[in-house]
Amino acid sequence: MGFNKNYWALILGGSSGFGLATAQKLSEHGMNICIVHRDRKGNMPRIQPMFDAVKANGVEIVTYNVNALAQDEMEKVLLDLKEKMGANGRIHMMLHSIAYGNLKLLAPEESPGENPNADLMKQLSESLGIEAEVLQSKVDELFHEGAAALAGIASPAKYDNQNFLEEEDFTLTVHSMGTSLAMWVRGVFQYQLFADDARVLALTSEGNEISWKGYAAVSAAKVALEAVARAIAVEYAPYGIRANIIQAGVTDTPALRLIPGSTHLKASAVTRNPYKRLTTPKDVANFIYLMCQDEAAWVNGNIIRVDGGEHISG
């Protein structure tokens, strides 16, 4: 099903992961794309071909490599976008996919680097006639290559036991991954760029209610994001704007790989998931496409899991 030729998607954080997959999916169905991202110039030779692939779907694409968290940069983007969209262009879908924050512990680990499986590995090594260090090294190698079943005997995740979350870390993370959604929705609204039937979507994770080490600031940001989205769903409803949060399953994205212990998170997800695989950016992009359909207009103010049943599987 094709979209109105005047419809645009505004994607905040669209040079990789969920944002880029969404740009590709929506462009395949005729939606024009605006991507706001922040990448080093040295990374652009890798990123630009992916933007070109979106354009190859026969739509218009505009990209801005700027700091999406700066008010003045946001206003410059919206002014320029308004001109490029033309008199009839409107934003039908806005996706908040900004992943920028601090991943530090709140407190030092009591026994950093200690392997709780040391005694078990010693017993196994003796039984197999292999040195414990060699056995552990091989187990870790296979685990990091995707052997999720070895999670229980793989070496534990390593964390920075010297630098801890400060107030400034929380402030930055909560704004970038949480409350900045409100700033952008207000900006698009004030510039009268939303379509009469608009969808605002943002991404949360299971870390919104489960404590992952090193994730405290991001978890706080996700909870703030969810609260902001609920408020948008109520206060902007009279203007035809719907807001929903997507709780994606564990997905192997550049953002996930920055989380301490991400390999263990992925292994746990694969083990729990009824389909025995991770969620992919395409899975989420496919759902976002569905949320952009006319038939989804009555969905508002929800947190919707897109994880293949990962969360309910314990």
Torsion of CA 127, 129, 131, 134, to 10 degrees: -90
Is the pLDDT at 224 greater than 70? The verdict is: yes
Give, in words, the CATH class of 7-106+168-259+277-313: alpha beta
Q: What is the dihedral of CA 285, 290, 292, 294, to 10 degrees?
A: 170
pLDDT value at residue 145? 84
Can you give the pLDDT at residue 121? 81
Separation of alpha carbons 153 and 151, rounded Å: 6
Helices marked H in 165-253: 167-174, 180-190, 216-235
Q: What is the pLDDT of residue 153?
A: 85
Q: What mean pLDDT comes out for the span 278-288?
A: 98
Q: What local confidence, expressed as pLDDT, does residue 118 receive?
A: 78
Mean pLDDT confidence for 57-78:
98
- Specify whether the CB–CB gap between 168 and 284 falls below 8 A: no
308: which residues sit within 8 A by CB, 6+ positions away?
249, 273, 274, 275, 277, 279, 283
Run of H or E including 91: strand 90-96
Segment among 29-33, 74-78, 122-126, 179-183 with least mean pLDDT: 122-126
Q: Which of 243, 219, 247, 222 is nearest to 231 (CA)?
A: 243
Tokens 């994607």 belong to: 11
> What are the residue ranges spanned by the domains of the chain?
7-106+168-259+277-313, 118-150
pLDDT by residue (tens digit) across 152-199?
888 888 888 999 999 999 999 999 999 999 999 999 999 999 999 999
CA angle 60, 63, 67 (to 5 degrees): 155
State what percent of residues in the chain have pLDDT above 90: 79
**Do 197 and 93 form a contact (C-beta atoms < 8 A)?**
no
Of 200, 90, 112, 201, the closest CA to residue 164 belongs to: 112
- Local structure of 132: helix, strand or coil: helix
**pLDDT tens by residue, 231-266:** 999 999 999 999 999 999 999 999 999 988 899 899
pLDDT at 314 exceeding the cut of 80: no
Average pLDDT, the chain: 94
